[in-house]
């Protein structure tokens, strides 16, 4: 089901693990460009057409916006215990992200003041996938950093079902985040609406949230008109395990990502041949009990791998090459090896820190870089919703000590007007003003 690759020291990754980008399909890019252009030109009318075509929902009578009545009905439809779980998760996420807040600062020195003005974005757009796995957790993870940052206006888009409804738990989660604008729009058309605006949906300053291939391509296409968090690919988990790991735990953690999508990537790197064999044997037994077994099986067969490494140093070298979205360290004394981690979206330490802990409850954000982009991207944070403006003040006396350097630098770059801008304040007879 999932292949085992015995690797010799210095041997690289198997080919199937080297290229995991999902943004190379030209037909998808062309379709997305057409959708973006249509929504930009025809607004709501295009949204209604695309929702009917792609989500099979006729929204012309009810409209695109979720009503307060629908939100109140959602509370009645969701088990009270789940509502409380959502509240506890919300509180954990807020507590973690409040530690990321930045403050405006100014450093006053004799004759000068330098600093940074920190302000939240005015308006953010949150995209939340729908489909067979409604992700109420993604509502919390995308919206709450924006709320903590001080963003005053948040619009959420998510695809409706054929009857025009939104999953009740997602509506409750949005309400617990204080989101007052929720729209029944999915796919690339939702990204277009958030970026360019329509009669119903006002444009935003930044779009965040995961999505399918069309959403990812649309976000990339509108970048520059608006900000985006990242271009997310399929979900992935990489587990580094030694002989102390429990094969049942490891198999369960691999499957927790495999059930996301057929293109998800569940990977195990272990120093223990016995563990590799035990996990390989355990997977079919656990898989048989899963409602999404077909999806998980495809992910295991197409994108899964068990790599046998000679030692933990080799295992970490391979893990850093993969640069996974989620990295689990199921090894003895995991903290002592944390310094070896260079590339990962989130790191889970020890045998009792499964990846779903981060998906739902612990507090750190679960919007993470995928497809190897953890080499240069970071998780979604409060900083993603903050703008920084540099502050510069020089007195006449302070500038007098520097203007010749400025002019010299400018003329070295052949920018005469730059030089004169600094010099003009000190020409003979020029009055202070």
List active site positions. Answer: 325-326
Distance CA 187, CA 128 (A): 10
Sheet (strand 265-270) strand order: 4-6, 305-308, 265-270, 236-241, 326-330, 346-349
Q: Return the DSSP state at 62.
A: T
Q: Return the DSSP state at 199.
A: S
Distance CA 394, CA 320 (A): 46
Distance CA 179, CA 248 (A): 40
State both tokens at 37. Answer: 């252009």
8 Å CB contact between 260 and 235: yes
* Cβ-based neighbour number of residue 316 at 10 Å: 21
8 Å CB contact between 179 and 90: no
Q: CB under 8 Å to 370, separation ≥6 — which residues?
A: 20, 232, 233, 234, 235, 236, 325, 345
Distance CA 138, CA 143 (A): 8
Distance CA 104, CA 158 (A): 35
Helix intervals (H) in 272-339? 273-287, 293-303, 312-322
- The answer for 369, left when phi > 0, alpha when psi is -120 to 50, beta otherwise, is beta
Distance CA 417, CA 376 (A): 37
8 Å CB contact between 133 and 260: yes
CB-neighbour burial class of residue 391 (10 A; exposed 0-12, middle 13-18, buried 19+):
middle
State both tokens at 402. Answer: 């520097």
State both tokens at 364. Answer: 């750190």
Please say whether the dihedral angle defined by the alpha carbons of residues 273, 274, 280 and 286, taken in this order, is positive or negative: negative
8 Å CB contact between 63 and 183: no
């Amino acid at each position: 089901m999932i292949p085992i690759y015995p690797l010799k020291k210095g041997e690289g990754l198997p080919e199937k693990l080297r290229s995991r980008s999902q943004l190379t399909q030209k037909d998808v890019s062309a379709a997305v460009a057409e959708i973006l252009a249509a929504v930009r030109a025809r607004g709501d009318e295009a949204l209604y057409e695309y929702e009917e075509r792609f989500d099979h929902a006729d929204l012309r009578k009810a409209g695109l916006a979720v009503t307060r009545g629908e939100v109140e009905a959602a509370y009645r439809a969701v088990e009270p215990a789940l509502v409380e779980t959502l509240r506890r998760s919300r509180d954990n996420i807020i507590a973690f992200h409040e530690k990321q807040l930045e403050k405006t600062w100014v450093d006053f020195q004799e004759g000068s003041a330098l600093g940074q003005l920190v302000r939240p974005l005015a308006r953010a757009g949150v995209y939340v996938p729908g489909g067979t796995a409604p992700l109420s957790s993604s509502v919390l993870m995308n919206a709450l950093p924006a709320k903590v940052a001080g963003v005053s206006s948040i619009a959420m888009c998510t695809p409706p079902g054929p009857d025009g409804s939104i999953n009740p738990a997602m509506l409750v989660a949005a309400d617990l985040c204080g989101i007052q604008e929720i729209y029944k729009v999915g796919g690339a058309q939702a990204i277009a609406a958030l970026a360019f605006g329509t009669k119903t949906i006002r444009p935003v300053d930044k779009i965040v949230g995961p999505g399918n291939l069309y959403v990812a391509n649309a976000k990339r296409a509108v970048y520059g008109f608006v900000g985006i968090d990242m271009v997310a690919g399929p979900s992935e988990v990489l587990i580094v395990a030694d002989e102390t790991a429990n094969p049942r735990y490891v198999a369960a953690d691999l499957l927790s990502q495999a059930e996301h999508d057929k293109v998800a990537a569940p990977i195990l790197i272990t120093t223990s041949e016995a563990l590799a064999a035990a996990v390989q044997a355990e997977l079919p037994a656990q898989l048989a009990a899963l409602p999404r077994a077909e999806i998980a099986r495809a992910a295991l067969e197409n994108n899964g791998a068990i790599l046998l490494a000679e030692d933990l140093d080799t295992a970490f070298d391979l893990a850093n090459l993969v640069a996974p979205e989620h990295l689990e360290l199921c090894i003895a004394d995991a903290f002592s090896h944390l310094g070896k981690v260079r590339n990962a979206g989130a790191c889970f330490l020890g045998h009792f820190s499964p990846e779903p802990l981060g998906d739902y409850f612990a507090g750190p954000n679960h919007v993470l870089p995928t497809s190897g982009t953890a080499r240069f991207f970071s998780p979604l944070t409060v900083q993603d919703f903050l703008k920084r403006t540099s502050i510069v003040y020089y007195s006449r006396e302070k500038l007098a000590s520097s203007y010749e350097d400025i002019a010299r630098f400018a003329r070295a770059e052949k920018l005469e007007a730059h030089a004169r801008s600094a010099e003009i304040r000190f020409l003979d007879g020029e009055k202070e003003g």
